[in-house]
């Protein structure tokens, strides 16, 4: 089976560059033929990119997450444009809103989010969107500002009613290990009802480990567990589902 991990913080799994490369090699042996490397800030993007250039199955996204709203970095806008020109940089992200941890203030987060959506439009890149307790504002902004290339709502945690509104836009919905949790009933309902052509999966490593591996540190090679759970939930063949999700990932990242 083939998998595409659409959201992995490789630089947070291990700080050591050699360990990072070993993780990508292990993932490829386990069928993970594509990994999108995610960072929260510009500096980390350039650092991780320099470490993983030789990893054939790794692609990259560049952006400033809401956690960095108070310190996005010097010349961050031009740095996004620079990084986006690098080989295998396929998206802008993760970007979005996070009202749970109250990074900065809402207006500052919204300004940062909108500006990066505008940059993504200029660069003709899809976006990878972080949403935590900010769903209403996220959708309101995306209705007006979502780039033509669309994007992914990563680590989806809303309900099916929210998902239906998101599907009115050019958005894919990404499921992480939290969909495998017994009490995640809203996610189960959403995953059952989702049109398969708008689904992708992610590890969100080192976070959101699938229930099967609870107690361990998450990594891309565990993504098979999320895919198997989704296939069982939907009554579908795991190999067929993994193939569809893989093709969906290629499509959203224009690969």
Is the omega angle on the peptide bond into residue 62 within 30 degrees of 0, that is, cis?
no
Q: Exposure string (b/e) for 7-29, b if CB count within 10 Å is 16 or more?
A: bbbbbbbbeeeeebbebbeebbe
User: What is the model's pLDDT at position 102?
Assistant: 80
pTM for the whole thing?
0.97
Which token pair is 29? Answer: 């042996």
The token pair at 161 is 């009613």
pLDDT at 15 over 90: no
Name 151's bridge partners: 127, 171
Residue 100's DSSP bridge partners are none
Q: pLDDT for 118-160, tens place per residue?
A: 999 999 999 999 999 999 999 999 999 999 999 999 999 999 9
Report how far residue 232's alpha carbon sits from residue 203's, in angstroms, rounded to the nearest whole number.
Answer: 18
- Residues 96/134, Cβ–Cβ less than 8 Å: yes
Rounded CA-CA distance 116/249 in Å is 21
Measured CA to CA, the distance from residue 216 to residue 205 in angstroms comes to 11
> For position 158, what pLDDT does the model report?
95
Residue 19: left (phi > 0), alpha (psi -120 to 50), or beta? Answer: alpha
Q: Which fold has domain 3-252?
A: TIM Barrel (3.20.20)
3-state secondary structure of 82: helix
Per-residue confidence band for 94, with pLDDT thresholds at 50, 70 and 90: very high
User: In angstroms, how far is the first alpha carbon of the chain from the final one?
Assistant: 19
Whether 91 contacts 124, CB under 8 Å: no
What pLDDT is attached to residue 19?
Answer: 92
């Amino acid at each position: 089976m083939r998998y595409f991990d659409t959201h992995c913080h490789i630089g947070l799994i291990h700080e050591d560059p050699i360990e990072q490369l070993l993780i990508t090699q292990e993932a490829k042996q386990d069928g993970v033929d594509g990994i999108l490397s995610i960072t929260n800030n510009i500096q980390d993007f350039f650092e991780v990119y320099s470490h993983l250039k030789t990893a054939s199955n790794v692609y990259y996204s560049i952006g400033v997450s809401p956690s960095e709203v108070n310190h996005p970095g010097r010349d961050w806008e031009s740095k996004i444009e620079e990084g986006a020109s690098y080989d295998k940089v396929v998206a802008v992200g993760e970007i979005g809103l996070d009202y749970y941890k109250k990074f900065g203030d809402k207006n500052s987060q919204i300004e940062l989010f909108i500006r990066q959506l505008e940059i993504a439009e200029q660069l003709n890149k899809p976006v990878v969107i972080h949403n935590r307790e900010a769903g209403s504002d996220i959708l309101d902004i995306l209705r007006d500002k979502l780039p033509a290339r669309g994007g992914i709502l990563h680590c989806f945690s809303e309900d099916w009613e929210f998902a239906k509104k998101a599907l009115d836009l050019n958005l894919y919905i990404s499921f992480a290990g939290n969909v495998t949790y017994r009490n995640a009933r809203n996610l189960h309902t959403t995953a059952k009802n989702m049109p398969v052509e708008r689904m992708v999966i992610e590890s969100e490593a080192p976070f959101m480990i699938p229930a099967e591996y609870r107690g361990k540190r998450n990594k891309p090679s565990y993504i098979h567990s999320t895919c198997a759970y989704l296939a069982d939930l939907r009554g579908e063949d795991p190999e067929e589902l993994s193939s569809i999700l893989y093709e969906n990932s290629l499509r959203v990242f224009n690969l």
